[in-house]
Structure 1
Amino acid sequence: MMTNLFSTFDPATSLNMSLNWLSTFLGFTLIPTAFWVLPNRINMLLMNMINKLHDEFKMLLGPSSRGMTLMTITLFMFILTNNSMGLLPYIFTSSSHLTFTMTLALPMWLSIMIFGWVNHTNHMFAHLVPSGTPAMLMPFMVLIETISNLIRPGSLAVRLTANMIAGHLLMSLLGNNSAGASGTILPLIISIQMMLMLFEAAVAIIQAYVFSVLSTLYTSEVMYENT
């Protein structure tokens, strides 16, 4: 039962090449032609969302944003597209794999760390010891801050993966049980599935937002001192 339940996350479709990963780019092929006719409602909705995100990310990054909001907004839209596509039937959820999420989190975190240590070395050393820390606790605070910095890409990747897996597992479990359910319980299972679908749609948006906001906050720790 557990093998069948987790087989929905199996990316292997053949021994030679895994075609399931093509779903990562499937969202871009489904953009309707009317999207390119301006102005239209889809474009207006997206532009309003992008402008709101730009204002918020610019506030988090401070005066030294210098176009960094473009990267974080692109990251948000890319994750949101993959999370939303995973809710559709027979489409592989690429964001439920650490291969996908770690590919996004690790290069972003590594580039931030390299930029900070190369350009603001003193600030990065000072950041390891929060202000007001007693001298006796300084070695422990350096160790704790170092560990917290090292686990940041892992926490970003695991957070997104775990949230995507949890909801999909629950929906798969209910879907498997609905096949042999009686006529009295079936409407209840369908109602729960509908509520779970709405909840997963909200999770898809929230997780993309959380990933991009945390990436912005990690960047602001380095970029803000550049003003």
Structure 2
Amino acid sequence: MALGFFDQFMSPVFLGIPLNIIALTLPWVLYPTPTAGWLKNRVSALQAQFIGQFTQQLFAPLNKGAHKWALLLASLMVFLMSLNTLGLLPYTFTPTTQLSLNLGLAVPLWMATVIIGMRNQPSHALAHLLPEGTPILLIPTLIIIETISLFIRPLALGVRLTANLTAGHLLIQLTATATLVLAPMMPLVAIPTAFLLLLLTLLEVAVAMIQAYVFVLLLSLYLQENV
């Protein structure tokens, strides 16, 4: 029974074709095509307003050199948010519950920020490895610790997104299973359990959006350190 709860996190395959690819391309199909006209429909206007507000809030505290990443990070935010929320629908698969996918997004983007820092301002980038005023005896130890923390950053990005979504999905499935089991035997207990399931679903929708924002926000902070 315990293994059945984790079947939802296995990448589905149909006729030898991984459906993970379809799940990754589905969000882009659902978005309305931008038009050059003055008037837009409600969906396009709402989408443009959301992206504009998010981009302004994310890049307001950053230097002008980081503004070149606005299109990339805004697209990544919308992409992750769509994958996370679409995965809550019945009979769907959430690609962002796979650690390999999240690391595939986190590692190249983190590496790009590090390369930018090493190329544009190597002294400032290397200065993060040693805090100012460090005693001489602690210099080798602190350099090793800061180097390890630097390389752990992409792993933390991927694991955070994977763990939060996986835990939420498991909790929802456990509560739904308990509701179905209790419904014929103890209806009075099944009713509050079903209400709890509704609250958990709403919470998971919020978590799906917040985790996408946190992923992009941390990338922007890493970018700020190297620009």
TM norm structure 1: 0.90
Matches within 5 A, 1:117-156: 117-156=118-157
Question: d(CA) in 2 for partners of 1:31 and 1:110?
Answer: 29
Percentage identity across aligned positions?
Answer: 37
Quick one: which amino acid aligns to residue 29 of structure 2? T
Q: Determine whether 1:114 maps to 2:115.
A: yes
Structure with the bigger RCO (C-alpha within 8 Å, sep 6+) is 1
Quick one: which amino acid aligns to residue 124 of structure 1? A
The answer on whether the counterparts of 1:11 and 1:21 sit within 8 Å (CA) in structure 2 is no
The match for 1:160 is: 161
State the shift of 1:113 in Å.
1.6
Q: How many equivalent residue pairs?
A: 222
Question: d(CA) in 1 for partners of 2:194 and 2:121?
Answer: 56
State the shift of 1:41 in Å.
2.6
Match of 1:195 among 174, 195, 199: 199
Quick one: which amino acid aligns to residue 23 of structure 1? A
Question: d(CA) in 2 for partners of 1:171 and 1:155?
Answer: 24
The answer on whether the counterparts of 2:54 and 2:74 sit within 8 Å (CA) in structure 1 is yes
State the shift of 1:32 in Å.
6.0
Q: Deviations over 1:142-163 (max 9, x none)?
A: 1111011000000000000000
Matches within 5 A, 1:198-213: 198-213=202-217
State the shift of 1:85 in Å.
0.5
Question: d(CA) in 2 for partners of 1:176 and 1:60?
Answer: 46
The answer on whether the counterparts of 1:120 and 1:222 sit within 8 Å (CA) in structure 2 is yes
Question: d(CA) in 1 for partners of 2:165 and 2:61?
Answer: 26
Quick one: which amino acid aligns to residue 10 of structure 1? M
Structure 1 segments unaligned to the other structure (5+ residues): none
Q: Give the direction of change, closer, same or farther, for the CA distance of 1:32–1:191 in structure 2 (3 Å limit).
A: farther
SS of 2:12 mapped into structure 1: coil
Structure 2 segments unaligned to the other structure (5+ residues): none
SS of 2:181 mapped into structure 1: coil
The answer on whether the counterparts of 1:109 and 1:153 sit within 8 Å (CA) in structure 2 is yes
The match for 2:27 is: 27
Question: d(CA) in 2 for partners of 1:74 and 1:119?
Answer: 25
Question: d(CA) in 2 for partners of 1:45 and 1:12?
Answer: 33
State the shift of 1:14 in Å.
4.5
Cα RMSD after superposing both structures? 2.0
